[in-house]
Structure 1
Amino acid sequence: MTAKIIGIAQSKGGVGKSTLCANLSVTLCQNAKVLMIDCDPPQHSLSAWYAIRDELYVETGLDIKTASTPAQLNSLIHKYKNEYNYILIDGAPHVNSLVRSMLLSSNLIIIPLAPSSVEIWSFTSFEKLINEAVKYNKNLTCKIVWNRVRKRVKSSQEVIDQVNKTSQLSAFKNIISFRVAYMDSFAEGCSVYEWTDAVASAEIWSLSSAVKRVVSKLGSVKQAQSQSALNFVKKG
């Protein structure tokens, strides 16, 4: 097997990257081997979640490693890419060399985005970074996941419609709504799949299925080693 590499990244913190990574990983590992790589030092929220989980469950099919530098990240991918079906990378809460390296190493970058002005402002600069990364990773696909959406709020839908109209990136049709189950389950080392909110569980399963369909069509990524690619990473 050769793992599909899925990075979860944004240019600001507090957008739900770690929560989304945890939930996707749990659903994917129900019938596949999944490795998570936590690239969010020093916070390491994903590692903290996994530590709680490890005390509660006998986990099968889901493992975690941490990386604090691009070299560590690339080494982990190279070492484990033939041992797992999926490698999910949880990015830092800002653009740094690790996030830039993720863009050059991933088949798919998932961008969690809430329909708020603050997040849209940060997303605009991140989209420019993606356009630069594609020069070095020709097989990179990036898609938005609308996250923490208040479905009955008119302004939320207006923001979504505007971004969908103006962005070069497409969004998954699967929307993650604003539900306390995502926060509560994460705090207990669980996913919403293992929680009591059937709607949240259905949302994450639907998104997981969509992610699998997308990555199944993507070719392998060969890490760019040109000086210009290395300079792109170092800019972080």
Structure 2
Amino acid sequence: MIISIANTKGGVGKTTLAVQIAIARALAGRDVWLIDGDRQGTAAAAIAARAEAQKLPGIACAQYADGAQLRAQVQQQAHKWEDIIIDVGGRDSTALRASLILADTLLVPFAPRSYDVWALDDMANLVDEARSVRDGLRSLAVMNQADPGANSSDNADAEAALADLPQFTYLPTPIRRRKAFSNAGGAGLSVVESLPRDQKAIAEINILVDSIFNVE
């Protein structure tokens, strides 16, 4: 499966989720290719840190910030991998648009803040454009960096606002603000591998991964 993790809004945790999802799939025995489609190269840096620490399983990673190059490389090499995770930067870029044409599934992380929710309109338009030239794009949205409280009004308001955007299927599997994610991601680790273990963070990632990949 090819997964694009994208949002035109920066700062919503796309790279954190891309790294966590890629490692989770590798730990499950899948052949995984993580593509960093952002010129900043944060995902590539995290995987380089993992390789330097000689942490297994190793994660194959390449950086293609140019849309034409990304599209060509994926089309040439997709047959080698069971899962391809594409992390694209927080803006409307050629890499983001190319990923929407290539992907089986789009995952759009969004934070429960007004500006982040408003930015989903831009992504909804891009989904419409992609679907006008290709069939079968599955578009999912997940609340990332959610408020820790179970009864957060900001979380509830953001979820309600998403209901007005039929382009997305909302995954009721929020990823909450936890230091475990930033600490693990910076070292190129899954929260499953990082110590001390945060069982709540582990459970959230496992549920998200199951929601994305266990499709009947």
SS at match of 1:194: coil
CA–CA distance in 2 between the matches of 1:164 and 1:170? 9
CA–CA distance in 1 between the matches of 2:164 and 2:92? 22
1:68-123 alpha-carbon deviations (Å, 9 max, x no partner): 21221122212221111100000011011111111111100000011110101111
Instruction: Tell me if structure 2 keeps the 8 A contact 1:34–1:63.
Output: yes
1:148 matched residue in structure 2? 145
Answering whether residue 109 of structure 2 is matched by residue 112 of structure 1, we say: yes
Q: Structure 2 length as normaliser, TM-score?
A: 0.92
1:26 matched residue in structure 2? 23
CA–CA distance in 2 between the matches of 1:210 and 1:122? 24
1:183 matched residue in structure 2? 182
CA–CA distance in 2 between the matches of 1:151 and 1:160? 14
CA–CA distance in 1 between the matches of 2:208 and 2:90? 22
Query: Counterparts in 2 of 1:63-212, with a 5 A limit?
Result: 63-152=60-149, 154-168=152-166, 169-195=168-194, 196-212=197-213
SS at match of 1:176: strand
CA–CA distance in 1 between the matches of 2:12 and 2:203? 21
**Cα offset for 1:187?**
1.8
In structure 2, give the amino acid aligned to 1:167.
L
In structure 2, give the amino acid aligned to 1:9.
A
Aligned length: 211
Which ranges in structure 1 are unaligned for 5 or more consecutive residues? Answer: 218-236
2:53 matched residue in structure 1? 56
CA–CA distance in 2 between the matches of 1:40 and 1:11? 12
1:37 matched residue in structure 2? 35
**Cα offset for 1:58?**
4.2
Across the aligned residues of Structure 1 and Structure 2, the Cα RMSD in angstroms comes to 1.5
SS at match of 1:78: helix
Instruction: Tell me if structure 1 keeps the 8 A contact 2:110–2:117.
Output: yes
Q: Which runs of 4+ in 1 moved over 3 A?
A: 58-61
Instruction: Tell me if structure 2 keeps the 8 A contact 1:33–1:61.
Output: no
CA–CA distance in 1 between the matches of 2:25 and 2:80? 15
SS at match of 1:81: helix
CA–CA distance in 2 between the matches of 1:125 and 1:97? 15
CA–CA distance in 1 between the matches of 2:73 and 2:101? 14
Instruction: Tell me if structure 1 keeps the 8 A contact 2:68–2:94.
Output: no
1:225 matched residue in structure 2? none
SS at match of 2:163: helix
Q: Give the % identical residues.
A: 27
SS at match of 2:79: coil
1:121–1:164 Cα change, 3 Å: closer
SS at match of 1:14: coil
CA–CA distance in 1 between the matches of 2:188 and 2:85? 17
2:6 matched residue in structure 1? 9
